[in-house]
Structure 1
Amino acid sequence: MEKFTHVRIVMGMIVSLGLTHMLKGLSSAIQHPSQKNIYPIHMAWVASLILNILQFWWWEFNLREIPVWTFGIYIYLIFYAFIIYLMCAMLFPDSLRDYADYRDYFMSRRAWFFGLAFAESVIDIGDSFIKGELHVASLGDMYWVKTAAFAVGCLFAIRTRNQIYHASFVALNLLAQLLFVANLTWSHA
């Protein structure tokens, strides 16, 4: 249990920096909406990533069930937290000086953002298996469908600037996240 507590603290520090970055970016956009040229698709990904972070923190509590901790598991989980932080950093850059607005920025950096999102979805599968067979079984079929669809969607998002695709992808992703949370909430009630 001591190793779990240690790993949880380190992961929490990294992911909380990402969440702080997101909240700071949101705060700035709210304070100065005309200066930031808010882009709805970007903001929808912000909402999705915040929900993702909250789910991540919730699910990482299941790591307490790991009977034997290794340095490999520790590094894997810390890498997972790094990916989440980098995704947060990609959504809110330090400056938009080199870009017309958030749409220009997001589209120019979409390969990075969706590459990281793809990696995060693959890493999440490993994270689920680290937590054990019972945890994997508890996720149900919806987890696998959602994860596969998201990963494929990320690969397409890297390649296209089509606004209809990007709006549809983020909307479906948010819907899938909410349905997944609702399903797990009701099934464990």
Structure 2
Amino acid sequence: MDAAADFSLYVRLISGTILGLTIGKLLSGLAKFVQHPAQYRMNILHALWIFFIFVAVSVFWWGEAQTFGSVQWTYPLYLFQIAYCSSYLFMTAVILPDEVSAHDGVETHYDYFISRRRWFFGALIVSHLLDLGNTIIKFGLDDFPITADLLIFNAVLFALLLLAAIVPHKKVQVGVAVTFAALTVLSMLLE
């Protein structure tokens, strides 16, 4: 095996480990809702964001499998890849804490999420920016379709994330979560 293939395999292993931890955290977090239904009550907001993260990770991981070999790996790209994968793990850890009641007297996962929403949406904004960077890295700037439609689409996404970070109202929160879950399903179907 040559050095480039060794680097690619190594980066795949590190990426897979981080993304595997993300899936494991999602599944163990979901299991708490089944194991302790009186203490952990599922709500639509959590269900949508858990679904979103699960599908987003699976779409990302699938895309990575198809493009890993096309990258000339360097240490900065390696760090970039770790940061991108870690953004999913961070979002998962924020949305599914080990213990809700230990956080500022909140009693439900919904209350906890609303109190920490800026962290979650900040991480989601960073993850989306990293996704744009990842697309440029994998396909090159020449093949990255910078069009007015793409700019408007991303501006709307960022505006929705900023709105959700600022406004705690349930209808806004659920509306943004539904939008992102639907867009992720659409991206999965288009893969």
1:139-188: CA deviation from partner (whole Å, max 9, x where unpaired): 99987665443322111111011111111111111111112222x24xxx
Match of 1:64 in 2: 69
The aligned length equals 182
The Cα RMSD (Å) is 2.1
* Identity across matched positions, percent: 25
Inter-partner Cα distance in structure 1 for 2:143 and 2:8: 17
Match of 2:99 in 1: 95
Deviation at 1:52, TM superposition (A): 0.8
**What letter matches 1:15 in structure 2?**
L
1:164 paired to 2:171:
yes
Q: Give the one of 120, 141, 148 matched to 2:127.
A: 120
Unaligned runs of 5+ in 1: none
Structure 1 pair 155/176, CA: closer, same or farther in 2 (3 Å)?
Answer: same
- Higher helix proportion: 1
After TM superposition, the score normalised by the length of structure 1 is: 0.88
**What letter matches 1:132 in structure 2?**
F
Give 1:27-176 correspondences, 5 Å limit. 27-61=31-65, 62-66=67-71, 68-98=72-102, 99-133=106-140, 136-137=144-145, 147-176=154-183
After TM superposition, the score normalised by the length of structure 2 is: 0.87
Unaligned runs of 5+ in 2: none
**What letter matches 2:133 in structure 1?**
G
Contact 2:19 2:85 in 1 (8 A): yes
Deviates more, 1:127-136 or 1:12-21: 127-136
Inter-partner Cα distance in structure 2 for 1:142 and 1:43: 30
Inter-partner Cα distance in structure 1 for 2:61 and 2:147: 19
Contact 2:55 2:188 in 1 (8 A): no
